[in-house]
Amino acid sequence: MSVGGVNNEGNDAGTLADELAQANAKIAQMSDELDGLQIEQKLTHKLAAAGAIDLEAAVLVARARIEGKTEADIDSCVTRVRKEKAYLFGGSTPVATPRRTAPAKDRVTSNQTALEQAAKKAAQTGRRTDLLRYLNLRRSVM
């Protein structure tokens, strides 16, 4: 019975050692994944603070650039990505706003000036007719 007991104990110790090795490998893998997630989270926060429009694309580009480096390189990576991929960030290129056409601009200006003139005249004279003219103009403009 002692021979069988020794064999069982040897097998148990071997399986326990294998399980321990697997558990240690799994812990190391989970630690690496956690480090990667922490770096990605820091990248996301820094890129969002830098004004990234397409945050997912910016994180993917930065993640590819920072692969194998430490967390200390995150700031330099963000500035490099912002410089090289400016289209991923807002405010880097001015957007052309549509201009008003000349007749529409003149019409609004002439209505505003007429309204302002009527308001000044009503305020200066204090007559009811001037006040009514101002109110009618104001109603038509607004």
pTM listed for this prediction: 0.49
Please write the tens of the pLDDT for every residue from 14-69: 899 999 999 999 999 999 899 888 888 888 898 888 888 888 888 888 888 887 66
Between residues 74 and 94, the one the model is more confident about: 74
The Cα 33–Cα 30 span in angstroms is 5
Q: Where are the domains of the chain?
A: 9-88, 102-141
Please write the tens of the pLDDT for every residue from 88-97: 887 644 455 6
Q: 92: which residues sit within 8 A by CB, 6+ positions away? A: 82, 86
Query: Cβ distance 51 to 89 under 8 Å?
Result: yes
Between residues 75 and 9, the one the model is more confident about: 75
